[in-house]
Structure 1
Amino acid sequence: MRSIISFELLKNLQDRGLLFWMLLLPILFTVLFISVFTSGTEGVAREQVILSIVPGYTVMFVFFIIITMIANFIKDRELGMTARIASTPLPAYKYLLGKWIPYMYIVFVQIIVLLFFGKLVYDIPLEQPLFLLLISVLLTFTVTGIGLVLSLLVKTNNMGIAMTQVIALGGAVLSGLWMPIDMMPSFIQTLSKFLPQYWAHQALQQGMEGSMQISDILLPASILFIYGFIAFTIAILRYPAFLKMARG
């Protein structure tokens, strides 16, 4: 399993396109939309906009790792790598963990870099770093867990791109990542409570402001963990069908 983790991590670190999707594009969008939405605003109003956009776009863009995960799983399936590994004594869950863990590293680093970018450029507060760290870990677990199960369900790269866009962009709209959730219709506010993006965004904002209590973090943390756990469970159940589609 360690060799799979090392190989996958090295392969992804050499992918310059991944660097663009994970860091450069989110930073560009963050700067652009902050400049647009803070134009003509000052003081507290400007700070609130920035405090919403930085974690909002961080949460939105971490979901784009799913495109890379799907592409790599499909490539391994079509090249026969999946079948060759399945012929070894390595258990299925260790294979999936070996493929999954490198993306956890990547997404976690992405979240930390984007939050520190907000701190350095816009001086956003990071009042409760331990809570922010916990939510970042759980968001990483959830996003890559969803990516893992989709990688075993999706049959083509184009389908994977389409589904990722629906999840990332659709979830961003419905969860209040683009605009305050209080400004959305009541039915969308209700629907947002069922999405992991909403809970991650709210928890990150509270952790930045320093307004989160231990009791406040239990619900978003539990929801994020449950999403990730269910996704991994489905992936384990789906793996035999995925293996049947593998070349070789």
Structure 2
Amino acid sequence: MWAIARTELKKNIQDKGLWFWTFVLPIVFIVGFVTVFSGDESTSQQEIVTQIIPGYTIMFAFFIMISMVIAFVKDRERGMVARIASTPVPIKNYFLGKWLPFMIIVLIQITVLFGFGIVVYDLPMGDPLALILLSIMLAFIVTGWGMAMAVLVKTENMGIALTQVIALGGALLGGLWMPIEIMPDLVQNLSKALPQYWALDGYKEILLEDGVIGDVWLHSLFLFAAGGIGGLIAYFAYPRFLRQSRS
């Protein structure tokens, strides 16, 4: 497991495109949208940054699924999956080895983007323990869903397209682009079924309302459950994924 994790982490560190999508582009979006909406005198600067910075952090966290799809599909096409299956390495070790590096990358991404917000825009930090818990759960959901998608899709392009639907569609309906309160009632009701809504609402509870772990336990539980479902789908879809692997 650890050998797989080290190899995967090393490959991702060397992938300049991943770092662009993970850090550079989110910061560009944050700076651009904070600049645009700072001219709105009806909304305070604190409300603007606590909507935009967590919102775009959550949205871009979901794009890690593209990298996960590419990693799994390449393993399948190169016969790596078949070779690993012929060894005594348990399935769970393969999944854990592939999953851990992406989990670490998402947590670093969240830390960097929130740190940028704190330094540049004086983003309120809130309770550190609550932030850590919610951030771990956010990383868990996006990587859990990433694993599920990676073993289900047939091609990289299909995975990229589905990731865009999940990331951008979830951002729109989950209130990441604009406050959910100003949306139609139907959208507000639909949004409560999305992890993006629960992640953003949890961050706003911590940052704006000085929430602690007890205030975001339901948000964390929802994200954990959704991520766990993704992991289970990946586990049970593995035999099909293995049959598609080149020998």
Q: Which band: TM-score by shorter chain?
A: over 0.9
Q: What is aligned with 2:4?
A: 4
**Counterparts of 2:73 and 2:89, CA distance in 1:** 20
SS at match of 2:175: coil
Q: What is aligned with 2:20?
A: 20
**Counterparts of 1:113 and 1:227, CA distance in 2:** 25
Q: What is aligned with 1:136?
A: 135
Matches within 5 A, 1:95-114: 95-114=94-113
Q: Quick check: 2:129–2:213 contact (8 Å CA) kept in 1? A: no
Segment drifting more, 227-236 vs 237-246:
227-236
Q: CA deviation at 1:215?
A: 3.6
**Counterparts of 1:40 and 1:222, CA distance in 2:** 35
Q: 1:2 is aligned with what amino acid?
A: W
Q: 1:30 is aligned with what amino acid?
A: I
SS at match of 1:246: coil
Q: CA deviation at 1:141?
A: 0.6
**Counterparts of 2:204 and 2:111, CA distance in 1:** 14
SS at match of 1:126: coil
Q: CA deviation at 1:41?
A: 2.8
Q: CA deviation at 1:37?
A: 1.3
Q: CA deviation at 1:217?
A: 1.3
Q: Quick check: 1:59–1:197 contact (8 Å CA) kept in 2? A: yes
Q: Which runs of 5+ in 1 are unaligned?
A: none
Q: 2:221 is aligned with what amino acid?
A: S
Q: What is aligned with 1:219?
A: 218
SS at match of 2:44: helix
Residues 181/40 of structure 1: CA separation in 2 closer, same or farther (3 Å cut): closer
Residues 214/110 of structure 1: CA separation in 2 closer, same or farther (3 Å cut): closer
**Counterparts of 1:77 and 1:39, CA distance in 2:** 50
Q: What is aligned with 1:30?
A: 30
- The alignment covers a number of residue pairs equal to 247
State the 4+ residue runs in structure 1 displaced beyond 4 angstroms.
Answer: none
Q: CA deviation at 1:214?
A: 4.2
SS at match of 1:30: helix
**Counterparts of 2:208 and 2:47, CA distance in 1:** 10
Q: 2:61 is aligned with what amino acid?
A: V
Q: What is aligned with 1:54?
A: 53
Segment drifting more, 91-100 vs 204-213:
204-213
SS at match of 1:19: helix
Q: What is aligned with 2:72?
A: 73
Write the deviation string for residues 77-135 of structure 1: whole angstroms up to 9, x where unpaired. Answer: 00111111111000111101111111000000000110000000100100211100100
Write the deviation string for residues 59-83 of structure 1: whole angstroms up to 9, x where unpaired. Answer: 0000000001101111110011111
Q: 2:73 is aligned with what amino acid?
A: I
SS at match of 2:216: helix
Q: What is aligned with 1:174?
A: 173
**Counterparts of 2:74 and 2:41, CA distance in 1:** 48
Write the deviation string for residues 140-198 of structure 1: whole angstroms up to 9, x where unpaired. Answer: 01110000000000111111111000000000000100000001110110011111110
TM-score, normalised via structure 1 length: 0.97
SS at match of 1:127: coil
Q: CA deviation at 1:209?
A: 2.4
Q: Which runs of 5+ in 2 are unaligned?
A: none
Q: What is aligned with 1:88?
A: 87
Q: 2:117 is aligned with what amino acid?
A: G
Q: 2:123 is aligned with what amino acid?
A: I
- What is the percentage of aligned positions where both structures have the same residue? 52
